[in-house]
Amino acid sequence: MHASPRLRWCVSASLGALSLVAGAASADDAIGPYENFKWVTVQIDSPESLLAVSQLGESLACQAGPGPVDFVIEPDAMEALEALGVPYVLRSNNIQHEIDEETRANELARAERGQDFFATYRTIGEIWTYLDTLAALDTVPNPPGHIIEKFNTGDSVQGRNIYGLRIATPTPLGAPPKPVFLISATQHAREWAAGSSAMWIADRLCREYGIDPVVTQLLDNVDFHIIPIVNPDGYNHTFPTAQGGGNTRLWRKNRRLNSGGSFGVDLNRNWSVGWGLNGGSSTSQTSDTYRGTAAFSEPEAAAVSDYALTLSPLKAHIDIHTYSQLVLGPWGYTTTAPPRTSELNPLAAAMVSAIESVNGTNWTGGQASTTLYVASGVAPDWTFQTMNALSWTFELRDTGTFGFTLPASQIVPAATEAWAGIVALAQHIQVRLRLNLSGPPSSLALSTPANFGVSITTENQYTLQADSANLMWREGDSGAYNEVPLTGGPTNFTATLPAFGCGRTINYFVQATANDGLIVRTPTSNDLSASTPACPGCLGDANGDMNIDFKDITTILSHWGMSGAAPFDGDADYNGVVDFQDITIALGAWGGGCG
Ligand code: 0X9
Ligand code: ZN
């Protein structure tokens, strides 16, 4: 199938409804529900032409705009399309043929390659069973210390469990917990290569600890939690009837029965951060981007988010989708730039180049809302905002040749690409340096520098960049930090806050740079703060800003007026009038400040 890389494939729920009708009308199971539906690419040049073509079928683009747009046209509507006079290319006279072809190829692969789990796309039952197979591997004593646990995050609308796999190694007693990496996939039912890739990554982590040095190093330092099929009902619905499915290959949403009688909520519009904002989702129950009645109205999104909340410290999250070969970062719900761009941007670039280097495919990275389109209520926005995790959407292979129906022969190539991106991110979140502060002050003696101890230890073969350890401080919550190099070393350092006057609150943290250039700071997000004693009350400080200056005069003059019976406090020269001469005298007598 061909589509522009930026074109999104969003077969709508009403196609599902049409297909149900078509399916019901057919007694013969060999005739699929898309029998005689046409697949055309129409050149859209105006809202009018979009509207007119939309009457004849369903757009496959979530947000169709000017340019080529793919449509599934109803079997008897081709003459009407012709009559519109809009340019179009007929891609398939019977879209069911493409789907049948895919089914045949999958069955062939299944038969030919026998036991290989990744030779073909697997049913939901096969996937859950395979998680048991992988979980059973952790009883193997060699290599020791490999933890594989199957977990259940909760139940779907139709009551299916939503399973995942935790793959980790034990953390020594007393050591801080390892950073956690969450991989979720297949919120969208038809995106089969997302689920197979998540399973392939799980398989590799389970089987190659102690064998593949990359896997060993990652698992010694990072805990992985992988939820391969977030939408088990929808996923099952995309499988052929013969495999227990609903025979609707291009289904996207979950299987919620909406109040109007249609099915499905888009799980990737149902998360609470940005939910319903900026036109990035639909209120129409039949839309493929229907957001649901409320944030987390859907048990699948709620279960996975509740599970994510138990992960500590969650440092990274990748939500796997197909297709378009994109790495999409926060925000999805707004075109406003996210925080942490200095961390997000180079990481996205590192993931893109790691992925591209596997097979030479071309990928693009960027902010989701500007690189693709605004979508609100998406999972990575939630983990980024709520849990401060570094979060992206991966849109795997391809760029439209096959689209959602990626041949089974590409299961492993697609997965190895996803793996390369995950490894790049996992290496980033690994611990490099540990900075321990001893006795960082919260109160400071007046006009006296304050020292505290900092120990810096290295982990995972990283080293400390020379002269990179600094105390960073500033007054208040904005503006540049002042940098004070730590003294001593190589492990135990001294940090020194300079002397400050009264009534000052100083925010500070300590940072150091690892040999690969990554800056590590303690505390990781919020600053520490320390204050000097409050200033003594000053008679001249009429506005209480801890400085005696002309502003105080204004306060005094407005309080007393410019005339009155002497003596007044403000009448410094006792001439019976409060005026600017008094200020000069006052400042001369008292000095310029309190501190
Ligand atoms: O629309 C989606 O949910 C994702 N694309 S898909 O074709 N797999 O449905 C993209 C979500 C990424 N976020 C934004 N574009 N904001
Ligand atoms: Zn998707």
What HEC string does 158-185 produce? CCCEEEEEEEECCCCCCCCCCCEEEEEE
pLDDT value of position 132 = 94
Q: How many CB atoms lie within 10 A of CB 560?
A: 15
Nearest to 224 by CA among 462, 2, 429: 429
CATH number of 113-253+296-429: 3.40.630.10
The pick from 1, 4, 6, 8 for probing ligand 1's pocket by mutation, whose C-beta has the most ligand atoms within 8 angstroms, reads 8
DSSP state of 243: G
Determine the straight-line distance between the first and last CA of the chain, rounded to whole angstroms.
74
Q: Residue with the nearest Cα to atom 3 of ligand 1?
A: 268
CA distances from 222 to 181, 225, 312, 431, 503 (A): 7, 10, 11, 9, 44
Active-site annotation holder among 98, 300, 395, 417 = 395
CA of 152 to the centre of ligand 1 (A): 25
CA of 287 to the centre of ligand 1 (A): 14
CA distances from 187 to 23, 190, 321, 393, 448 (A): 25, 9, 8, 11, 58
Give the model confidence (pLDDT) of 380-395 as tens digits.
999 999 999 999 999 9
Strand partners, 391: 317
Phi, psi of 485 (to 5 degrees): -60, 140
DSSP state of 467: T
Q: What is the pTM of this model?
A: 0.69
Nearest to 554 by CA among 567, 541, 566: 541
Which range has highest mean pLDDT (131-140, 142-151, 287-296)?
287-296
Q: How many CB atoms lie within 10 A of CB 232?
A: 28
Q: Which residues, 6+ apart, have CB-to-CB distance to 141 below 8 Å?
A: none
CA of 43 to the centre of ligand 1 (A): 23
For residue 252, which atom of ligand 1 is closest to its CA? 9
CATH of 5-93, one of 3.30.70, 3.40.1280, 3.40.1130, 1.10.3210: 3.30.70
Nearest to 245 by CA among 126, 417, 334: 126
CA of 227 to the centre of ligand 1 (A): 18
Give the model confidence (pLDDT) of 528-556 as tens digits.
999 988 876 666 666 666 666 656 665 66
Q: Residue with the nearest Cα to atom 7 of ligand 1?
A: 8
CA distances from 120 to 100, 123, 156, 411, 550 (A): 15, 10, 25, 8, 80
pLDDT value of position 103 = 79
Residue 7 has pLDDT above 60, yes or no: no
Residue 3 has pLDDT above 50, yes or no: no
CA of 279 to the centre of ligand 2 (A): 18
CA of 217 to the centre of ligand 1 (A): 32
Strand partners, 464: 514
Give the model confidence (pLDDT) of 354-378 as tens digits.
999 999 999 999 999 999 999 999 9
The pick from 7, 60, 188 for probing ligand 1's pocket by mutation, whose C-beta has the most ligand atoms within 8 angstroms, reads 188
Nearest to 192 by CA among 153, 151, 240: 240
433-531, what's its fold? Immunoglobulin-like (2.60.40)
Q: How many CB atoms lie within 10 A of CB 86?
A: 18
Weakest-pLDDT range from 243-257, 324-338, 475-489, 512-526? 512-526
pLDDT value of position 589 = 64
Ligand nearest to the CA of 268: 1
Choose between 224 and 173: higher pLDDT.
224
pLDDT value of position 235 = 98
Ligand nearest to the CA of 368: 1
DSSP 3-state percent helix, strand, coil across the chain (nearest 5): 30, 20, 45
Ligand nearest to the CA of 8: 1
The Cα 92–Cα 480 span in angstroms is: 60
The Cα 48–Cα 55 span in angstroms is: 11
For residue 332, which atom of ligand 1 is closest to its CA? 16
The Cα 142–Cα 561 span in angstroms is: 89
Give the model confidence (pLDDT) of 274-313 as tens digits.
999 999 999 999 999 999 999 999 999 999 999 999 999 9
Residue 442 has pLDDT above 70, yes or no: yes
Q: How many CB atoms lie within 10 A of CB 525?
A: 8
Under the banding of pLDDT at 50, 70 and 90, the label for residue 18 is very low
pLDDT value of position 532 = 87
Choose between 188 and 59: higher pLDDT.
188
CA of 375 to the centre of ligand 1 (A): 7
CA of 88 to the centre of ligand 2 (A): 26
For residue 266, which atom of ligand 1 is closest to its CA? 3
> 145: alpha, beta or left, given left = phi > 0 and alpha = psi -120 to 50?
left
Under the banding of pLDDT at 50, 70 and 90, the label for residue 238 is very high
- How large is the average pLDDT for residues 140-152? 80
CA of 124 to the centre of ligand 1 (A): 23
Give the model confidence (pLDDT) of 453-494 as tens digits.
999 998 777 899 999 999 999 998 889 999 999 999 999 999
| Domain ranges (residues) in the chain | 5-93, 113-253+296-429, 433-531, 537-595
Ligand nearest to the CA of 376: 1
Can you say whether the dihedral through the CA atoms of 218, 220, 222, 227 is positive or negative? positive
Q: Extract the tokens encoding 275.
A: 């939910």
For residue 280, which atom of ligand 1 is closest to its CA? 16
For residue 191, which atom of ligand 1 is closest to its CA? 8
Q: Residue with the nearest Cα to atom 1 of ligand 1?
A: 375
Question: Ligand 1 pocket by C-beta < 6 Å: which residues?
Answer: 8, 62, 188, 191, 268, 321, 328, 332, 368-369, 372-375, 378, 393, 395
Q: How many CB atoms lie within 10 A of CB 366?
A: 17
Q: Which residues, 6+ apart, have CB-to-CB distance to 26 below 8 Å?
A: 33, 35
Give the model confidence (pLDDT) of 576-592 as tens digits.
776 767 767 766 665 65
Q: Which amino acid is at 71?
A: F
pLDDT value of position 283 = 98
Choose between 430 and 254: higher pLDDT.
254
Weakest-pLDDT range from 414-423, 456-465, 525-534, 567-576? 567-576
Q: Extract the tokens encoding 301.
A: 């999104």
The pick from 393, 394, 398, 405 for probing ligand 1's pocket by mutation, whose C-beta has the most ligand atoms within 8 angstroms, reads 393
- Judged by DSSP in three states, 280 sits in coil
Residue whose pair of structure tokens reads 């692969």 in the numeric block: 109
Residue 66 has pLDDT above 60, yes or no: yes
Helices (H), 537-595: 550-560, 580-590
Ligand nearest to the CA of 279: 1
CB 327 within 8 Å of CB 363: yes
The Cα 74–Cα 60 span in angstroms is: 13
Can you say whether the dihedral through the CA atoms of 386, 317, 266, 323 is positive or negative? positive
Which CATH class, in words, describes the domain spanning 537-595?
Answer: mainly alpha
The pick from 266, 267, 268 for probing ligand 1's pocket by mutation, whose C-beta has the most ligand atoms within 8 angstroms, reads 268
DSSP 297-358: -SHHHHHHHHHHHT-TTEEEEEEEEESSSEEEES-SS-SSPPS-HHHHHHHHHHHHHHHHHH
Q: How many CB atoms lie within 10 A of CB 41?
A: 21
The Cα 427–Cα 249 span in angstroms is: 36
CB 383 within 8 Å of CB 273: no
The Cα 232–Cα 119 span in angstroms is: 20
The Cα 86–Cα 44 span in angstroms is: 8
Please, what is the average pLDDT of the chain?
A: 86
- Residue 441 CA to chain centroid, in angstroms? 35
For β-strands 326-329 and 364-367, DSSP reports them as parallel
Weakest-pLDDT range from 177-191, 441-455, 468-482, 515-529? 515-529
Verify whether residue 395 is a known catalytic residue: yes
pLDDT value of position 12 = 36
The Cα 324–Cα 397 span in angstroms is: 6
CB 267 within 8 Å of CB 185: no
